[in-house]
Structure 1
Amino acid sequence: MESIKAVFWKPDPQAQVRKCNQLIRQNTRKLDRDIANLKAVENKTKSLIIAANRRAQRNPAQAKQAAQETRIFARELIRTRKTTQRLITSKAQLNSVAMQVTEAFAVRKIEGSIRASVGIMKDINSLVRLPQLMGTMQELSQELVKAGIIEEMVGDSMPDQLEEDDEEAESEVDKVLGEILQDKMGKVGATPVTSTPVQEPGLEDENDEEAEAMLDQMRGRLEALKS
């Protein structure tokens, strides 16, 4: 029945507005959830860095291992922050799209016609590449094409693989560690002037396994947010 109506009647502008706004709100909520999850991962990573540094101060025999762990955690923290910033930027773009869409429909109501917006098309093209929003943004772009707000995107709308830096600059890692640990925590890997306690057999292996398990868990959360 709806398909038959579409042949004889133009789409209802109010229905188009509601549909577009619904998709925009849906995407905004998704971004808010992902940003909140990333913030939780960031806080957890900070705690792991501080815990590793404290362990090094308590037990100088583990100082080298703890220093390695803090740098690994710092790299993960940098990646998490970059992903968070990317999502925050995407949310700002989405808010811009929402305002431009509202304005476009308002203009059509007054003038009786609508012009394709290059600005909206640029933002949509950027957002549709984001793995977190790929499906719903494609649906939104289709609705905007139907409404005449943007032109159909061919080829260029296909999502690109977001480039990730596998290795963060050492200076950036040092900066993050300095920010988190500060002077009160001491330098990472610094050995206090105390007698060296005897390392219990198997304890170092257990610490290695525990740190690796925590790292795998954080990476899993990040990958889940990217998928």
Structure 2
Amino acid sequence: MVNELDLHYPPDTCPFCNIAAAFPVPSRRLWTSPFVDVADAVPIERESDPEKTSPSSFVVLAAKDVVAFLDILPMTKGHLLVATREHRVKVSDVEAEESRDMGFWLPILARVVSQVTGVTDYNIVQNNGARAAQVVPHVHFHIIPRPETMPQIQNKSWTMFGRGQRDELDDEDGASIAKEMRQMLRSELSIMDRRANAPKL
């Protein structure tokens, strides 16, 4: 049950719900399991217009139960958010099928973030409730690359949780990074498909 104190605004004004609605799952997708038609979950370029939402959203993944997009206030280059498609406030609200889909995509997206940024160390952070530093009351995981040289952040105790000094994502940079991530994600899925279908010795 949703605690009213955890709702900063109603779900119909949730920015993550707006992104999910702007990047729906096309009806051609079968989705009989998380492993069917996964490549279709990566939007093609004509489906990836950042201006479908305001502010712009740089979407990397639009799967059945999960959407992934760049943080518009990134801590580091390539800071990616992975959210439930449906409005769920806390992890305890997430349903079993959504959990399976999230579990399928998180490691793949972590590899994509590492490959695109060239940074092999990263945090995966998920906050539940305002006292736990959750700013948007919609379940989402942060994949935050940790390069050798970190930007100077004033409040270091909060850097793991996404607070501190952060600059807005430049639209041109966002479009470029998201495009590269989508390409890398397609490549990752292709490799996984080949491995899954390789003849067993």
Which TM-score tier does this pair reach, normalised by the shorter chain?
under 0.3
Higher fraction of helix: 1
Higher fraction of strand: 2
Length-normalised TM-score, structure 1: 0.24
Length-normalised TM-score, structure 2: 0.26
The structure with the largest alpha-carbon Rg is 1
